[in-house]
Amino acid sequence: MDFKLVKEMLKRILLVTFTAAVLACHASPQPQQMVQGVSNIVPDEKQALVCKEIVTLIENWNYKKIKVNDSISSLILDKYIKDLDPYKYYFLSSDIKEFEKFRFSLDDDFRSGNLNAPFYIFNVYLKRYNEWLAYSLNQIKAKYDFNQNDTYTFDREKMPWATSSTALNDIWKKKVKYELVNLRIAGTTEAKNVETLTKRYQNLKSQASKVNNQDIFQTIMDAFTETIDPHTNYFNPANAQAFNEDMARSFEGIGARLQLENEVLKISEIIPGGPAFKSKLLSAGDRIVGVAQGNAEFEDIIGWRIENSVAKIKGPKGTKVRLKIIPVGMDLSSKPVIVELLREKIVMEEQSAKKKVKTIQSNGQPYKIGIITVPAFYADFKAARAGDPNYKSTTRDVRLLIDTLKNRDKVDAIVMDLRANGGGSLVEAIDLTGLFIDKGPVVQVKDLKGGIEVNEDTNAGAIWEGPFGVMVDRLSASASEIFAGAIQDYGRGIIMGTQTYGKGTVQSSIDMNQLVNPSILQRLAALVGKNVAGGAAGKDGVAPPQLGQINLTMAKFYRVTGSSTQHKGVMPDIVFPSVYPMDKIGEDTEKSALPWDEVKKSNFMAVADLNPIKPELIKLHQERMAKSLDYKILNQDIADMKNREKEVSITLNESKLKAERDSLEAKSLEKTNLLRAERGLAPIKKGAKIAKEESFDFVEEESLKVMLDFMKSANPKDKSVVKTVKEFQ
* Closest by CA position to 726, among listed 626, 648, 619, 650: 619
Q: Are strands 299-300 and 287-293 parallel, antiparallel or unpaired?
A: antiparallel
Instruction: Write out the DSSP string of 142-153.
Output: S---TTS--EEE
Contact yes or no for 447/435 (Cβ under 8 A): no
Contact yes or no for 263/223 (Cβ under 8 A): no
- Cα(393)–Cα(243) distance, integer angstroms: 15
- Cα(348)–Cα(278) distance, integer angstroms: 16
Residue 371 CA from chain centroid, whole number: 24
Rounded to the nearest 10°, the torsion over CA 223, 228, 230, 233 is -60
- Cα(569)–Cα(484) distance, integer angstroms: 10
Residue 321: phi and psi, rounded to 5, are -130, 140
Question: Which residue among 266, 503, 556, 712 is the active-site one?
Answer: 503
Q: Are strands 505-511 and 250-253 parallel, antiparallel or unpaired?
A: unpaired
Residue 701 CB contacts under 8 Å (≥ 6 apart), including other chains:
none
Instruction: Identify the helix (H) or strand (E) that includes residue 551.
Output: strand 549-558
For residue 461, count other CB atoms closer than 10 A to its CB: 10
Residue 358: phi and psi, rounded to 5, are -120, 140
Amino acid at residue number 677 = A
- Report CA-CA distances (Å) from 14 to 210, 317, 432: 34, 34, 36
444-460 as b/e: b if 16+ CB within 10 A? bbbbbeeebebbbbeee
For residue 120, count other CB atoms closer than 10 A to its CB: 20
279 is annotated as an active-site residue: no
503 is annotated as an active-site residue: yes
Residue 472: phi and psi, rounded to 5, are -135, 165
Instruction: Write out the DSSP string of 207-269.
Output: HHHT--HHHHHHHHHHHHHHHH-TT-EEE-HHHHHHHHHHHHTEEEESSEEEEEETTEEEEEE
Question: Which residue among 425, 476, 478, 480 is the active-site one?
Answer: 478
Length of the chain: 729
Amino acid at residue number 664 = L
Residue 628 CB contacts under 8 Å (≥ 6 apart), including other chains:
702
Question: Which residue among 397, 489, 573, 630 is the active-site one?
Answer: 489
Strands of 463-548, DSSP E:
468-472, 494-497, 505-511
Active-site residues, by number, are 478, 489, 503
